[in-house]
Structure 1
Amino acid sequence: MIIFGTKGYLYQLAILTLVCGQCGNPAAHTLRKRVTKFTLFFVPLFPVSSKYGTQCTFCGAESQITQQQADALQAQAAGGQGVPGVQGGQGYGQSQPAPNQQGNPFQQGNNTPGNPYQR
């Protein structure tokens, strides 16, 4: 008897602050990759499909995006500025900081006087 099937894996690629297309709030969005792999005797062998999506952490709305859009958003999270190929009308345009958001005190090079996290 041969036992085969599929198994799904969910990878979190990045967390971005974007304006949600559903609720309109500037909130954190998780960029996720869902991979389905073919298994033989419960051993994952090769990927069958890959899908990319984002989820708003404020309202929970999910949306599917293309691989090119996911790559652009991941580059933006790594420090890139523009997001080519991503439509602003879908809520995935320019990343906007949340209101009253301060700089990251853990970020290197933050020489703010009185920073308790600076060595």
Structure 2
Amino acid sequence: MIIFGSRGYLYQLAILTLVCGRCGNPSAHTLRKRVTKFTLFFVPLFPLSVKYATQCTFCGVENRTTKEQAEQLLAQSAAMPQGPQQGYAQPTPQQQGQNPYQQ
């Protein structure tokens, strides 16, 4: 008796801030890769299909994307700075003792 079938794997590639096409909100979207693999005796052997999609975390709508679009979005997310935003710098030692409300 041979046991075979398929199994799906879901990979989260990135979290992007995009404007949703359905709800119109600028919200976080997850970029996901769904791979369906052929299994033999519960061991995954080779992929049968690979699909990419983005999902809005605000309204939940999922949009399919092509591999090229997914790679573009992934490259854009890697190019964005991951550090703190500008304007939130540490105060200098001279500024720490000053009270801005005293004249």
Which of the five TM-score ranges fits, normalised by the shorter chain?
A: 0.7 to 0.9
Aligned to 1:22: 22
Aligned to 1:12: 12
Unaligned 5+ runs, structure 2: 92-103
Two-structure CA RMSD over aligned residues (Å): 2.1
Could you say which structure has the higher strand fraction?
2
Query: How far off is 1:32 after superposition?
Result: 0.1
Runs of 4+ that moved beyond 3 A:
none
User: SS of the residue aligned with 1:28?
Assistant: strand
Partners in 2 of 1:112 and 1:44 — Cα distance? 50
1:67-78 aligned at under 5 Å gives the runs: 67-78=67-78
TM-score by length of 2: 0.81
Partners in 1 of 2:65 and 2:45 — Cα distance? 26
Partners in 1 of 2:76 and 2:42 — Cα distance? 37
Whichever of the two has the greater Rg, that structure is 2
Query: How far off is 1:113 after superposition?
Result: 1.5
Partner amino acid for 2:24? G
Partners in 2 of 1:77 and 1:43 — Cα distance? 33
Partners in 1 of 2:69 and 2:43 — Cα distance? 31
1:5-84 aligned at under 5 Å gives the runs: 5-79=5-79
Partner amino acid for 1:46? F
- Aligned residue pairs, count: 90
Aligned to 2:99: none
Partners in 1 of 2:33 and 2:90 — Cα distance? 40
Partners in 1 of 2:32 and 2:68 — Cα distance? 13
User: SS of the residue aligned with 1:30?
Assistant: strand
Aligned to 1:113: 90
Unaligned 5+ runs, structure 1: 81-102, 115-119
Partners in 2 of 1:113 and 1:55 — Cα distance? 36
Could you say which structure has the higher helix fraction?
2
TM-score by length of 1: 0.70
